[in-house]
Amino acid sequence: MLQTRKKPLRRLFLLVGVTALALVATGGGGPGAAPVRAEATAPQTVDQSGYARHAMVAAANPLATQVGVDVLKAGGSAVDAAVAIQAVLGLVEPQSSGLGGGAFMVYYDAASRKVTAYDGREKAPMGATGRLFMGDDGKPLPFFDAVLGGISTGVPGAVAMLDMAHRDHGKLPWAGLLKPAEKLAEDGFIVSPRLAGMIALKQVPQPSAPDAKRYFTKADGTPYVAGDRLKNPAYARTLQRIAKFGASGLLTGPVAQDIVDRVHEGPRPSTLTLADLAAYRPIRQSALCRPYRIYVVCTPQAPSGGPGLQIALGVLNQTDIGTRGPDDAKAWFEFAQASRLAYADRDRYVGDPAQVQVPVEGLLDPAYLKKRAELIGEKAGPVTFGMPEGAPAFGPDATAEPGGTSHFVIVDAQGNVVSMTTTVESIFGSGRMVDGFFLNNQLTDFSFSPNDSDGAPAANAPAPGKRPRSSMAPAIVLTPDGRFVAAAGSPGGSSIQAYNLKVLVALLDWKMSPQDSVALPNLVARGDRYSADPFPQPIMQALAERAMPLSTARGENSGLQAIIVKDGGYEGGADPRREGRARGF
């Protein structure tokens, strides 16, 4: 059991929220930064944390949280609640996830004390090539040109993954779990401030795409705003089909045909076929579990962000960050340098292990991690990838990863746990809709350039049937004998690795509460850039003296949710940068 203590940096979450809200209004930054700004929201006035004796849910929208709690109260399992929560999130938070997207889940079975990883990552159609995102001029396409094209959409996997997990661990009937979302779609739900902000967003093109514009425009020609009631009968009908046929209701039949027809329309039509959709299968496998301090941290396998997060934890395990705290500049220096080393290795080596050699064992070998940690030093210096055992000759990465994603964590009354990250990739995915839901633009998670200038292949290059690399890394923490300790995760594009690392360090090393942990300022160190929320001036000055100046021109946004075991029950926290709640019974 974690004994939590509060830290003064918690007060900064209000400043973070105000800063992020201002950046939404003012813009700034390049195209790759726009989705990060877009995910910002105002500081919360409602208590987002929660404590419960029997079961707990933490999700990014209060409607989704409540539905999850209701399922658990009715005797449902953690996976049952996940099915219901995802169906609601896809309706009320369509900028982040949905029926047309993908997901990764880690599941803890309290009886066996085993952790299983479920991979619902999208796949490229069999007609895809390594030059999927290369223009006629031989250069990579502009990012948003690729996003808005039919070529950006992969075979969606979230529903199929949940279908598989429900068959393994569900207790309540599948169809009934979709009823709450179906009713919300038919009766209408109240547009939240965050969704309203996404609808009004001008920095990215998806909200102005024809399908999105049509959906979010009222009969009088004005856009939906916060407080309006939005109905989506087409979404309800799609849920009815999925309720009857499971994942086949989405991946075969009329809905599948509508997906294929829509992505075949210009510009940049896809090669996606009905056969691609019907052939999709999620993956069930053992989680990637490694020691950290006195704990064991479990994540999904590649191509998820699990290996990258495990590398970062493995490097930090060699430092004294655990004896420091969030008010110590040296702690944040160590955090940032471990992040840089982990990103360098992840960007170089991680791709779809079904198609490329991913040297996971070499990357996580304690001797290798010790050598990497020795590079941290007293000041920031150049960072490049290492040469772990089994490393293939891959080229540099050229992958853009905007953040249109959501995360939730669930503990049921039997002690089973779900930690799940779910996405449509960018804000409203590709901006294209069918049957009430947005289609993902997940294939833009591939490297746009299939080769380096010297011809070396990129590990994350597109290929037929390949899954793009992901940063999503839902985590579950156990004791060495397999007892549940904590669960956490976040959206945020490539920054997910840093967000998850922050919350795990705060929970496990600094013994902070879930709410204080998720509210800590974010620091994303990758390459030579240190993007951060505002920190106290003494910390910023001390980091600058270590050749690590923080760039706070825009707040890095997260959507962390976390639950820990505490005082005979569960304590949860939800990121103040979003609208989430942690609630239970």
Sign of the C-alpha dihedral, residues 333, 295, 421, 274? positive
SS3 state of residue 332: helix
Residue 128 to residues 283, 423, 439, 465: CA-CA distances in angstroms? 21, 21, 17, 8
- DSSP code of residue 572: E
Proportion of the chain in helix, strand, coil states, percent, rounded to 5: 35, 20, 45
Burial 248-273 (b: 16+ CB within 10 A, else e): bbbbeeebbebbbebbeeeebebbbb
Whether a cis peptide bond, with omega within 30° of 0, leads into 267 is yes
Phi, psi of 457 (to 5 degrees): -75, 150
Mark out the alpha helices in 61-209 (DSSP H runs).
Answer: 62-73, 78-92, 143-148, 158-169, 174-177, 179-187, 193-199
Cβ neighbourhood burial of 198 (10 Å; 0-12, 13-18, 19+): buried
Bridge partner residues of 119 (DSSP): 104, 283
Cα atoms in the 13 Å half-sphere on the side-chain side of 442: 34
Token duo for residue 322: 């655990």
- Which helix (H) or strand (E) is 434 found in, with range? strand 433-434
Active-site residue list: 405
d(CA 300, CA 502): 18
At CA 62, angle to CA 403 and CA 412, rounded to 5? Answer: 95
CA-based end-to-end distance of the chain? 19
Distance of alpha carbon 504 from the chain centroid = 15
